[in-house]
Structure 1
């Protein structure tokens, strides 16, 4: 549907009185935090083609946080503790997206605890977002593939409720059923820290892989129809997950360790194992995570270096994009977390303001299509990597 969205002007929590029913935080207005958004330059004919493809194809992001963050990033803990993430309806309406895997509050999920990831916090996060979405008609929650296709046809945006780790299920398999019942359709195995399912990337030096409980959890997620994402899991845990799963596995937001040697990215054998399940790998653009030898300053060009490397490695049928962007100061958020959260010590050393061309979901996906057109990709290839590959996987998993 492109940018011809059927948005009627609803703003987050319009059904409540701000300042009375909840504490109000100042956020940006509209998609862009910075005054000078970047656009991939194209000639008139190429730009028209990019616009046509944006309108015609079902465009799906594998990984975003599609809500506004506070303008003053120092308020992030208070904002998240309240549990009212402000879905960016107007910014999504300005995008070419038809569906977004929205990974909710995740690493700042600590409404009821000091260290976060409690089951009550996950339920709180899911429930309040769902209540707000239920009060309007533009954004929908996707429970199956038809919901995504209908969003495309109707000029809406479908959000796929997703959670980046399984810390909160503890040793209770039935909590996976509860999460499915609450709308969750994609789950991470770990979120950096190890849990009862397996080893996270923070513990990769002592990599125990997927546990026996993790194998049971993978089996249950297969039975439920939850898409499995080991993006933050260790090398061995990811390989074990691919071996254990009967369904395709997704890496929602990753890149090639061959281009940037950090634990957050995956080695060739891991990328190949995911593709061998029939799965899909989303290329991310979160600050400082996917620079490349040819483009050491992190911009859309370095992101696309990772895209082309993975495409050449596993084939164009197994790659897409999960930019992992947000509506707010993403670099500022990472610096804040690097300063205040012990597990992100290197995040305070970022030396740029934002990832040029991929500031937020609206800008990122506009430029992804334009970049692919600029580089001569065919319509069919663009269809695959902007949503077709994901739909193929979802038809199997869901």
Structure 2
């Protein structure tokens, strides 16, 4: 597969000596951990895909663009070392022009057994930013112009993102500090409740707190996008109502298709769209299933896409596949308790086969290539494809940032 012209071969932390300056744990293959899958197209459709990818920015609303260990059972040990490896070559093989990278805050336990501590988040963010600063393929993104520049130069705009805001505690100024460190999008909660509101793990959602209202206001004013992917239904509704700017739900699906707390109700998605927001469709293992597609693959994911598109309109839907490099299912098995998976993936007792990987949407390299190919194969208009692969996100970011 051809590499982006802006990639010069940099490898993560190559300025240090692995095994001496930091512990070395062998990483998984960046793009070949499982059997690659590419949707078959006719020659004319292949030409159309190439034309679209050349013309329009491709933006993923949610990924983890690092490699995990070959031995996935060592994932937490690997994460806790504080230096995860960015998959530069895998990204160079992708069609992405910008990516919201959600780091490792959910499994970052450098100083704590429970995670989401300020020191851990800053340690993780700082190490990744140091690595990014030593290369020139990923552009640390602070504006829409950076995304357009990355597209032009054959590079990728890297947008550091944090999935939950528990670590700000009751300190509003920490939002400003995170913005100063480069964070341009943050979730209000990560499954568990915090001082802002309730997450999807909670049985009782009391909604956005008064402090939560201050957080929404501060994020609006400094230009940090708000993500509601792991936020409870009432808290999400309250946050949308409180915000003066569009809201993002970067990685989710339609609960009407699959009754998991991980997915959003029609009411929340419609409210998000009415505020000018964008909803990204999820592809992490065993999330966006449907009764028609119980074995998780791209067809079920695109069924969620079409449902949401029909619900809120083509101007308010995109993709946040939430993929990574390595054994994603194995990672979930190793960190199920930490990530609250049992609480949030249960679907009203519905049974489904557990897959080894998500066919067609397994990693950041494969995911968006197949999204574009699927849309072309299903005769979507070029204008609509441009919107859902990045145009809708750019429109919202121009208002938010």
- Which bracket does the TM-score occupy, shorter chain normalised? over 0.9
1:70-113: CA deviation from partner (whole Å, max 9, x where unpaired): 11111111111111121110000000000000010021011111
1:358 corresponds, among 351, 356, 361, to 361
Deviation at residue 3 of structure 1 after TM alignment: 5.1
Q: In the aligned structure 1, how far is the partner of 2:194 from the partner of 2:31? A: 35
Deviation at residue 335 of structure 1 after TM alignment: 1.4
1:221-370 equivalences under 5 Å are 221-338=219-336, 341=338, 343-345=340-342, 351-370=354-373
- Assess if the C-alpha contact under 8 Å between 1:32 and 1:360 holds in 2: no
Q: In the aligned structure 1, how far is the partner of 2:133 from the partner of 2:184? A: 18
Q: In the aligned structure 2, how far is the partner of 1:247 from the partner of 1:130? A: 28
- Assess if the C-alpha contact under 8 Å between 1:252 and 1:281 holds in 2: yes
- Assess if the C-alpha contact under 8 Å between 2:196 and 2:212 holds in 1: yes
Structure 1 stretches of 5 or more lacking a match? none
TM-score normalised to structure 1 length = 0.97
The alignment status of 1:374 with 2:371, answered yes or no, reads no
1:135-175: CA deviation from partner (whole Å, max 9, x where unpaired): 01111110111111100000101111100000000011010
1:395 corresponds, among 387, 394, 398, to 398
- Assess if the C-alpha contact under 8 Å between 2:60 and 2:321 holds in 1: yes
Q: Which residue of 2 aligns with 1:103?
A: 102
Q: In the aligned structure 2, how far is the partner of 1:326 from the partner of 1:116? A: 20
Deviation at residue 275 of structure 1 after TM alignment: 0.4
Q: Which residue of 2 aligns with 1:6?
A: 6
Matched position secondary structure for 1:326: coil
Matched position secondary structure for 1:206: coil
Q: Which residue of 2 aligns with 1:118?
A: 117
Deviation at residue 350 of structure 1 after TM alignment: 6.3
Q: 1:342 to 1:395 in 2, by over 3 A?
A: closer
- Assess if the C-alpha contact under 8 Å between 1:250 and 1:274 holds in 2: yes
Deviation at residue 370 of structure 1 after TM alignment: 0.2
Matched position secondary structure for 1:228: strand
Deviation at residue 236 of structure 1 after TM alignment: 0.3
Deviation at residue 343 of structure 1 after TM alignment: 3.0
Q: In the aligned structure 2, how far is the partner of 1:4 from the partner of 1:103? A: 22
Q: In the aligned structure 2, how far is the partner of 1:76 from the partner of 1:121? A: 16
Structure 2 stretches of 5 or more lacking a match? 347-351
- Assess if the C-alpha contact under 8 Å between 2:59 and 2:97 holds in 1: yes
Q: In the aligned structure 1, how far is the partner of 2:398 from the partner of 2:189? A: 24
Matched position secondary structure for 1:159: strand
Matched position secondary structure for 2:230: coil
- Which deviates more from structure 2 when the two are superposed, residues 310-319 or residues 105-114? 105-114
Deviation at residue 30 of structure 1 after TM alignment: 3.4
Q: In the aligned structure 1, how far is the partner of 2:206 from the partner of 2:100? A: 29
TM-score normalised to structure 2 length = 0.96
Matched position secondary structure for 2:212: helix
Matched position secondary structure for 1:327: coil
Deviation at residue 312 of structure 1 after TM alignment: 0.2
1:59-70 equivalences under 5 Å are 59-70=58-69
Deviation at residue 57 of structure 1 after TM alignment: 1.1
Q: In the aligned structure 2, how far is the partner of 1:233 from the partner of 1:32? A: 33
Q: 1:206 to 1:14 in 2, by over 3 A?
A: same
The alignment status of 1:145 with 2:144, answered yes or no, reads yes
Deviation at residue 365 of structure 1 after TM alignment: 0.7
- Assess if the C-alpha contact under 8 Å between 2:29 and 2:326 holds in 1: no
Deviation at residue 5 of structure 1 after TM alignment: 2.9
Matched position secondary structure for 2:142: coil
1:159-194: CA deviation from partner (whole Å, max 9, x where unpaired): 111000000000110100110000000000100000
